[in-house]
Amino acid sequence: MAFQFNFSITENVENKLEILSDTDLLLGSAQDALKNQKGSTESKEVSSEEPAALQESLHVYKVAPETAALVASCCPKPTEDENQNETLPKKQSYKVAREHNIPDDVDKVLENKVVEALSGLYHVNISVVEMTLSDGSHGEDIVSKSISSHSDLLPGVYEGGMKIWECTFDLIDYLSTAEIQFVNKTVLDLGCGAGLLGIVALKGKAEKVHFQDYNGTVIDEITLPNVVANCAAGSDDDNREAGEPTSKRLKKADCSPGLLSKCKFFSGEWSEFSRLLSSDRKLISNYDIILTSETIYNPDYYSALHDTLSKLLSKNGCVYLASKAHYFGVGGGVHLFEKFIEERNVFRTKTVKIIDEGLKRFIIEVAFKNSS
Ligand SMILES: C[S@@+](CC[C@H](N)C(=O)[O-])C[C@H]1O[C@@H](n2cnc3c(N)ncnc32)[C@H](O)[C@@H]1O
């Protein structure tokens, strides 16, 4: 596959977390640090063939040859700790799925994190997380790989979970205005990244909420801390009204064990994840609601995604999927995914919202054809 993901480097991200469009990059602080180190001025890497307006709205840009070389060298090479699936092409490596334990001492999860509030939800400041991980000594080393390749998507290595993507906020809005009920439901936030969708379900009194991300680093450093921050005593809505300082260092999580015990956290590639759930009877493997945002950018993953949805969704369950119309440079998008679904003839889809500002975005519902 040709590697064409890349994005612009934004300035002005220090010490603040904003709702990001896909031209924004949360690696900002760490990248600035790297820039300063190199004493160089990074410039946007865009194709001169794209119209200027289009370039601005894209998060994917043509990749420099040295980046392509780096991505190519990252992806196909199997490493000792990566699972090699016999049924998959030999050259590709896929992350084995695993469950991440919630530490007994949840205070530790928020150590060295800066917690901020946005749209009534707490989340850790991602730039700070990246700074702490950018020395390359941390497991998957996705921060430095992402920085050195100038990319927030490295297929098979890093799938973008460190950043909060725009459609997450579209789906949060939709869930609220459509008054989607989570009470007593089992919910999966698939490709969760920051996990804000699952957190909304948790706050909506879901019975169980599971979070899945490709990268274990994302789960440990971002998703789990975000869930803990939102479960923390005193993090109820009353404390998050306008005027509240948006950034604070939580010294003590004081997390409600009741809420946290409803959650489970998983990393790994989708086929591996659904296999893990199906193989362990202690794990729920049928969800009433699956929430997923910005996960259909890469057509190469459609088969695994489709099969995972069909294995994990309960018979009368519903998937709420948020996506851009099209992911330039990567090739995926709503129409291609809907066509894929139609051909498989397992699910029906319904567009429930179109957001027609900037790059067109969609919320679609996916349910089994034979459901009631
Ligand atoms: C672009 S990010 C979106 C993150 C988050 N949902 C949001 O909207 O901010 C795509 C997410 O899908 C997950 N993902 C993408 N491809 C995957 C694959 N083949 N297997 C497992 N997870 C994958 C990644 O973990 C990543 O977090």
Q: Mind listing the pLDDT tens digit for each residue in 176-206? A: 999 999 999 999 999 999 999 999 999 999 9
Total of domains in the chain: 1
> Which mutation among 214, 223, 292 tests ligand 1's pocket best, with the greatest number of atoms within 8 A of CB?
214
The residue assigned the tokens 């459901």 is 371
Task: Give the pLDDT of residue 75.
Answer: 30
Per-residue pLDDT tens over the stretch 295-330 = 999 999 999 999 999 999 999 999 999 999 999 988
Question: What are the helix (H) ranges across the chain?
Answer: 28-38, 52-57, 65-74, 126-133, 142-149, 166-177, 196-203, 216-218, 224-231, 257-260, 270-279, 302-312, 334-344
Q: What's the rounded Cα separation, in Å, for the pair 86 and 92? A: 10
Q: How far is the CA of 191 from the centre of ligand 1 (A)?
A: 4
pLDDT band at residue 55 under the 50/70/90 scheme:
very low
107 belongs to a structural domain: no
**Atom of ligand 1 at shortest range from CA of 152:** 1
Task: Say if residues 211 and 191 touch (Cβ distance below 8 Å).
Answer: no
Is the predicted pLDDT of residue 78 greater than 90, yes or no?
no
Q: What's the rounded Cα separation, in Å, for the pair 152 and 163? A: 8
Q: What's the rounded Cα separation, in Å, for the pair 356 and 143? A: 32
- Beta strands of 81-219 (E only): which ranges? 98-100, 115-118, 121-124, 186-190, 208-213
Average pLDDT, the chain: 75
Task: Give the pLDDT of residue 27.
Answer: 32
156 belongs to a structural domain: no
Q: Which residues line ligand 1 (CB under 6 A)?
A: 159-161, 164-165, 167-168, 191-194, 213-215, 269-270, 293-295, 301, 304
15 belongs to a structural domain: no
Residues 84, 344, 350, 299: is their CA dihedral positive or negative?
positive
Is the predicted pLDDT of residue 35 greater than 50, yes or no?
no
Residues 254, 117, 224, 282: is their CA dihedral positive or negative?
positive
Tokens representing residue 68 in the block? 């392509």
Q: How far is the CA of 347 from the centre of ligand 1 (A)?
A: 21
317 belongs to a structural domain: yes
Is the predicted pLDDT of residue 17 greater than 60, yes or no?
no
Partners of 267 in beta bridges: 98, 213
Task: Give the pLDDT of residue 255.
Answer: 60
**Atom of ligand 1 at shortest range from CA of 153:** 1
Partners of 122 in beta bridges: 117
List phi, psi (to 5°) of 69: -60, -40
Q: What's the rounded Cα separation, in Å, for the pair 285 and 281? A: 8
ipTM tops 0.90:
yes
Per the structure, the complete domain to which residue 210 belongs is given by 166-223+257-368
> Which mutation among 96, 159, 276 tests ligand 1's pocket best, with the greatest number of atoms within 8 A of CB?
159
Mean predicted confidence (pLDDT) in 331-357 = 97
Q: What's the rounded Cα separation, in Å, for the pair 123 and 247? A: 10
pLDDT band at residue 144 under the 50/70/90 scheme:
confident
Task: Say if residues 98 and 276 touch (Cβ distance below 8 Å).
Answer: yes
Q: What's the rounded Cα separation, in Å, for the pair 65 and 86? A: 31
pLDDT band at residue 93 under the 50/70/90 scheme:
low
Q: What's the rounded Cα separation, in Å, for the pair 233 and 242? A: 19
Task: Say if residues 155 and 1 touch (Cβ distance below 8 Å).
Answer: yes
Task: Give the pLDDT of residue 61.
Answer: 26
The residue assigned the tokens 């992402």 is 146
CATH number at residue 326: 3.40.50.150
Select, from the ranges 73-82, 99-108, 162-171, 253-262, the one with the highest average predicted confidence (pLDDT). 162-171
201 belongs to a structural domain: yes
130 belongs to a structural domain: no
Task: Say if residues 371 and 315 touch (Cβ distance below 8 Å).
Answer: yes
16 belongs to a structural domain: no
Residue nearest to atom 2 of ligand 1 (CA): 160
Partners of 353 in beta bridges: 363
User: Of the candidates 258, 127, 133, 271, which has an alpha carbon nearest to the alpha carbon of residue 190?
Assistant: 271
**Atom of ligand 1 at shortest range from CA of 161:** 27
Task: Give the pLDDT of residue 7.
Answer: 31
322 belongs to a structural domain: yes
